[in-house]
């Protein structure tokens, strides 16, 4: 078990507030352009899986269940390409999120972008680009500081 290294909200409160405001701005933009909250949660979970962020996984899996996302869809998310339980919009958002998360490997290649734009409008793709970038930043902050999910006795 690893211990928390620091609490960024206490150590750098102004920066933390700015990051939180960015998150709220991303949420408002996704809503404005019509991206469903379920899509946003799946994007946050998938990026957090790829990055191995326990804190964010715990938070967003909990949020997703509260939102009513079926447990099966959460269980098979790492293998989303292999199952038919995700809509085309969700698939496009997940593909974009993975490409952004793994940007060092593929640089969000033109084929990925083409497939995304076949399904999502430019405003939706732009908002989801911010969403994937935001969760990747949160993942890096949580992993570096070793933020710990709250213990639950369920």
CATH of the domain at 105: 1.20.1290.10
pLDDT of residue 1: 63
pLDDT of residue 153: 74
pTM above 0.85, yes or no: yes
Q: Is residue 49 part of a domain?
A: yes
More confident of the two residues 23 and 154: 23
Q: Is residue 1 part of a domain?
A: no
Residue 17 has a CB neighbour count (10 Å cut-off) of 11
Number of structural domains (the chain) is: 1
The answer, yes or no, to whether residue 25 has pLDDT greater than 80, is: yes
Q: Is residue 3 part of a domain?
A: no
Q: Among 132, 124, 129, which Cα is nearest to 101's?
A: 132
């Amino acid at each position: 078990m690893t211990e928390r290294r620091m609490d960024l909200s206490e150590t750098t409160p102004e920066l933390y507030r700015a990051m939180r405001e960015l998150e709220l701005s991303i949420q408002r933009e996704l809503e404005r352009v019509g991206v469903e909250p379920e899509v946003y949660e799946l994007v946050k979970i998938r990026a957090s899986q790829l990055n191995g962020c326990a804190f964010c996984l715990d938070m967003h899996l909990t949020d997703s269940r509260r939102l009513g996302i079926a447990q099966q869809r959460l269980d098979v998310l790492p293998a989303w390409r292999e199952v038919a339980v995700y809509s085309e919009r969700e698939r496009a958002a997940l593909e974009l999120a993975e490409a952004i998360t793994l940007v060092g490997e593929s640089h969000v290649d033109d084929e990925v972008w083409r497939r995304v734009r076949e399904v999502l409008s430019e405003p939706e793709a732009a908002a989801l680009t911010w969403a994937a970038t935001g969760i990747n930043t949160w993942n890096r902050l949580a992993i570096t500081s070793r933020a710990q999910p709250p213990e639950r006795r369920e």
